[in-house]
Amino acid sequence: MNICTPVADFLKSLETGKPCEPSFENALMTQKVCEAVINSANSKSWKDTGLV
């Protein structure tokens, strides 16, 4: 995938009014998981992501 595809999707969402993916919510959930993985590795224990 190149940078043009997400930009084109974003511009299309502005035109149509439909949300594009990934959304901010998707990005936030991904970030929480990544942080839990790093914290888990550093502490050598399971960490909760806070996600259900």
User: Which sequence spans correspond to the domains of the chain?
Assistant: 21-45
Q: What is residue 23's predicted lDDT score, i.e. its pLDDT?
A: 85
Q: What is the pLDDT averaged over residues 24-52? A: 93
Q: What is residue 32's predicted lDDT score, i.e. its pLDDT?
A: 94
Q: What is residue 14's predicted lDDT score, i.e. its pLDDT?
A: 95
Tell whether the model's pLDDT for residue 49 goes beyond 60.
yes
Mean residue pLDDT of the chain comes to 90
The answer to whether the beta carbons of residues 25 and 7 sit under 8 Å apart is no
Q: What is the pLDDT averaged over residues 12-28? A: 91
Q: Which residues of 14-38 are buried (b: 16+ CB within 10 A; e: fewer)?
A: eeeeeeeeeeeeeeeeeeeeeebee
Q: What is the pLDDT averaged over residues 10-21? A: 92
Amino acid identity at 14: L
